[in-house]
């Protein structure tokens, strides 16, 4: 399995990242070998494995004592399962020392030299630990960066890549842009020269108005509290915004009425097409999906249009997410929520 061969995958969110509880009981049961076997049986070719740094690193400890072997063993087991069932793995650092996409006001990764050193140390450790693994394993530097602009992130990403290359010259490395891996920020990524093993990435949740409808963590949509169909448009959204002048959001432009269909999705994906045309570099969509509060037929139609466009553009992707997490393909007991959705996501047509 080569560096550009990952086509259809799924995230293992909620396991060793964004976990409901930091406990061995959770880590031992939330994802098991049977889950990985099921993903392979569906016909997917890879998993994206989000990891939060507290699982693998002890705060305040240095050297070998700084690594949490108990936590690292879950990555090791996942790699063993993936190899057994013929799946690729994207090892994604979801939460780093000094950085989490969910606590932007507390982050200091881009201002604290020590945090930056620890970030690079993590990747150096991964490069050494997994140097003997084959091309089925790829490294993703950091999930959903948000900073004032792309300058500091580009600088740190290049440092981390150099740290990895010091131990592993051939590993495929995935590198995303600013503002939650926005597709519109691909143009701000500083390409890595003379390295054909870098894959660039973005996330696709547009339009937020549809994909995150009624989401409690998006206050304006939670307050709007209306069902939005796809294809279709949001009924009364302009009136809602006009009657709530106190609502201000970075995604407000996505709440303005516009007919949502495949042509709109093509418009949203145009920056990816431009990036490929201008750079000749491979692209990967590490996350996309629709919240489970959405009508099933509309959810399936959106996924069908997006996956069709990814195939046309030769963009590999991993849907968010395998289990629960408000976007899950299976429920808490591991039962498939919607067989038609799984068929859409794994279709080879």
Structural element, H or E, at residue 286 = strand 283-288
The string of DSSP codes covering 298-349 is HHHHHHHHHHHHHHHHT-EEEES-SBSTTT-SB-TTS-BS-HHHHHHHH---
Q: Residue 167: its pLDDT value, please? A: 95
**Structure confidence at residue 349 as a pLDDT band (50, 70, 90):** very low
Phi, psi of 201 (to 5 degrees): -140, 160
Which of 140, 144, 185, 254 is flagged as catalytic?
144
pTM of this structure: 0.95
User: What are the chain's domains?
Assistant: 8-205+261-346 (3.20.20.80)
What does the pLDDT average to over 10-31?
Answer: 97
User: Catalytic: 287?
Assistant: yes
Phi/psi at 163 (5° precision): -65, -40
* pLDDT computed for residue 332 by the predictor: 94
pLDDT (mean) for 36-54: 98
Q: Rounded mean pLDDT of 337-345?
A: 97
Which among 185, 229, 254, 287 is annotated as catalytic? 287
Q: Is 69 a catalytic residue?
A: no
Q: How far apart are the first and last CA of the chain?
A: 20
């Amino acid at each position: 399995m080569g560096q550009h061969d990952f086509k259809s995958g799924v995230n293992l969110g909620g396991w060793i990242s964004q976990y409901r509880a930091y406990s061995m009981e959770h880590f031992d049961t939330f994802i098991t070998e049977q889950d990985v076997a099921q993903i392979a049986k569906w016909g997917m070719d890879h998993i994206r494995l989000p990891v939060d740094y507290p699982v693998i690193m002890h705060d305040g400890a240095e050297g070998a004592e700084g690594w949490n072997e108990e936590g690292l063993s879950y990555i090791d087991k996942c790699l063993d399962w993936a190899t057994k069932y013929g799946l690729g793995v994207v090892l994604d650092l979801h939460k780093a020392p000094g950085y989490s996409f969910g606590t932007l006001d507390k982050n200091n990764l881009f201002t604290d030299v020590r945090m930056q050193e620890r970030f690079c140390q993590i990747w150096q450790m991964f490069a050494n630990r997994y140097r003997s693994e084959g091309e089925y394993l790829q490294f993703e530097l950091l999930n959903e960066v948000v900073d004032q602009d792309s300058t500091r992130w580009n600088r740190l990403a290049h440092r981390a890549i150099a740290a990895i290359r010091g131990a592993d010259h051939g590993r495929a490395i995935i590198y995303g842009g600013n503002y939650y891996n926005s597709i519109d920020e691909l143009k701000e990524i500083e390409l890595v020269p003379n390295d054909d093993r870098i894959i660039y990435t973005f996330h696709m949740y547009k339009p937020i108005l549809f994909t995150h409808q009624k989401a409690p963590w998006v206050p304006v949509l939670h307050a709007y509290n209306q069902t939005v169909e796809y294809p279709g448009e949001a009924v009364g959204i302009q009136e809602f915004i006009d009657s709530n002048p106190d609502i201000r959001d970075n995604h407000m432009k996505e709440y303005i009425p516009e007919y949502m269909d495949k042509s709109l999705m093509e418009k949203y994906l145009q920056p990816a097409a431009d990036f490929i045309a201008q750079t000749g570099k491979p692209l990967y969509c590490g996350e996309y999906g629709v919240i489970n509060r959405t009508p099933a037929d509309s959810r399936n139609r959106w996924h069908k249009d997006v996956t069709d466009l990814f195939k046309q553009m030769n963009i590999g992707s991993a849907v968010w997410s395998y289990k629960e997490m408000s976007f899950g393909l299976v429920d808490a007991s591991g039962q498939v929520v919607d067989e038609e959705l799984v068929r859409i996501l794994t279709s080879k047509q």
